Structure formats: structure tokens, C-alpha cells
Structure 1
Amino acid sequence: MTRVLILYYSSYGHVRALAQAEAEGARSVPGTRVDLRRVPETVPEDVRQKAGFVADDTPVATPADLETYDAIIFGTPTLFGMMAGQMKSFLDRAGGLWARNALVGKVAAVFTSTGSQHGGHEATLLSTQIPLQHFGMLIAGMPYTFSGQKSAGGIVGGAPYGAGTIAGADGALVPTETDLAGARFQGAHVARIAARLAVASPAEEAA
């Protein structure tokens, strides 16, 4: 059984919707167990309410949880062209895993949401991959075999670096079916890669 974790932070629900689609895609691959978790919130509850953040009852992960998975797909909104501080704080607390090489060889992928097409969408996908490579993880993007990202029929989130959506400056937009299809594609893509690596590992260790 291949274990895949969808780990995300979401303020207004856009990244959470993509995370659910990522999980759906990963679960479509036979022999895959998928868990959906969020990183801890760092914003006080009264500030969350004033800002209109969406309530989220998804279980919260701890850094120690990451070691038990074959693949981890990280979801974060774009804030000033980078990952959200909540996700960065979570990764900063995973130094013990880095010290033990506990995540080396595991598959990783990233998806995101941003307010506009040029609001740092690709920058967030790429820069979020940097700490994951420091952990020794293997990065999976969203290849062009998902043809939806080549559509010119409207605003499309996502890139070869990962799935995504455009929320609009006021957050009024919701993920399109193409965006959700991209997230499902990426979830399945990561699960298939993790399954292949899990089969190959015993042979490599015996060599």
C-alpha cells in the first residue's frame, strides 16, 4: 500500500478545494492510501473571523507525521509571491527530519492559489520546491500530458511546476473544472510515481 499525504494551508477555501481534488486523484490509483491534513494556523481566531477566513475541520498534521508517507503533496496560497508563512513555519519545524535524512527519496509536489495570473503563481510553485529538495525529496510537477493547462479558453491555473487556481483579487473566483482536473491529474501522477519507487526500492537495497 502506497501512502500519500496531501498537506495544505488555506485561508479562503481555494487551496482546500484543490487539496480535495488532489486527494481524489491519488485515491484513483489502486493500492494507494491517502490522508488529507492541514498545517497549524498561526493567525489568531479573532483576526481570522474579521478577515473572513473559511472554517476548516481537516485534521492538523505535525512534522513527525511526514516520515510515514511515500509521497507528500504540498498546497499553499501565494502571499507576496511566496508560500504562506504557515507552511514555511511548518517546514521550519521539520529540521529533525532533515537531520536524519528521513524524507530523502520521497516524492513531493506543490500546488497553489493566487489572486491574479501574474501574482506569483509560478514563483510560489518553484520556490516552495526549494526546501523540499533540501529534504532530499524528488519533485514531481504537472507535465503537459495534462492538456488542460494549454487551454486558451479562459483563465487557467496551474503550470508544468504544479496545479493551481486563480482566486481573483477579492477571492470571489472558485477553482474551475480545468483547475480541479489538473489537481486530480497531479494527485494521480504523484501516486503512480510513488508506487513505482516503492516497488524499486527493495531491489536497490539488495544490490
Structure 2
Amino acid sequence: MPPAPRDVALIRLDNALALFDEFVRNTVKDPDAATLRGLERRFAERLQVQPSYWSQIKSRSRLIGERLARQFEQQCHKPPGWMDIEHGSGGASGRAVAAQAAAAVTAANAAQPSSPQPQDDDERFIVGLVLTYYRRHPERARTRLLDLLGEVLVTPSATPAPAAPKPKSPDEDSHNLWARSQRDVAPLKRKR
């Protein structure tokens, strides 16, 4: 059975590091540590990003999104989509290492529960839209989002057994639904 495909974020990171290695090889014959620091700054300039941003990408604290991947391709004269495709060393050992890395990533993903964090650019876009809407119109957003997502957010165990129905105002009903939903959803982690 072929190994599961790797996450596009890891592929883009590997390809960005490969672009940097290619840049170093084409620029300096035997680089030392001081030369490498200068080359990292020059490479970031070539990519048209700040050196600190390139450093964050290398340290895996920033992901390479769709737009940035296309920018890297354009600035390094690679065809469109190059950043999203694995480029092994071509040898059997390179393919074996890539297969082992893919298997390790798959095993790690299977061991961890599905992350509540956005996984790709589409999910980050949707989360950003919802947050923007909520921050501008909290009451309206709460009511409309609960109308759309209320059935999904409220688990059957969290819903109390129906008592004798009594008339409620729409605001009171949506507020109760919002309170019940908050109990079932983990809070977001604060940024540092």
C-alpha cells in the first residue's frame, strides 16, 4: 500500500528549505556560519519577505500559505505549483527517507485527535470571516450563527429533557442556546 500523502505545509517547508540550500550552493562555495547568516538575509530579500519572517518559517512557527508559496515560486523561477509537490533526491535512499517521513507524519496525525485549529487556508479564511462578523455585530452574529450551527454545536447529552413548553422570547431562547453551546466548546488559546 502506498504511504499516505504528506501535509502540504510540511511539503512547502521542505521545498522552501531546498530553495535556500540551492541558493547557498549557487552563491557560495564553502559557507561558514557568518556567511550563512548574511545569505539568509539575502535569500529573504530575494523572496521579498522580512528576514525575521523567513526565520519564523524555518523554525516552523509560521506556515507557508497559498499566496506565499506562489510568491516563492515566482521569485525563485519555479513553475506554478512547485512548492506543493514533493521533490526527493531521486535516489532510492531519498525515496525511502521520504516514505519513512510520510509514515511518521501519518502515525503522528493518527495518534492525535483532530485539531480544532484551522488546517488550511480555506479553514483560516472561514474562521476569520466568522470572527470578523462576530466582532462587528456580536448579538446578530450569535443569533444567526446559532441558527445555522445550533444543531451541530449542541450535543444530545447537553440538551435538557424537554419540560412543559413555555413561551420564550427569541432573544432569551438564542441566549440559552449560546450558553449551552459555550459549555460544549473548548475555549480558544490566547496568543502570547
Shared fold, TM over 0.5: no
TM-score normalised by structure 1 residue count:
0.23
Higher strand share: 1
Q: Which entry has the higher C-alpha Rg, 1 or 2?
A: 2
Structure number with higher relative contact order (C-alpha < 8 Å, ≥ 6 residues apart): 1
TM-score normalised by structure 2 residue count:
0.25
Higher helix share: 2
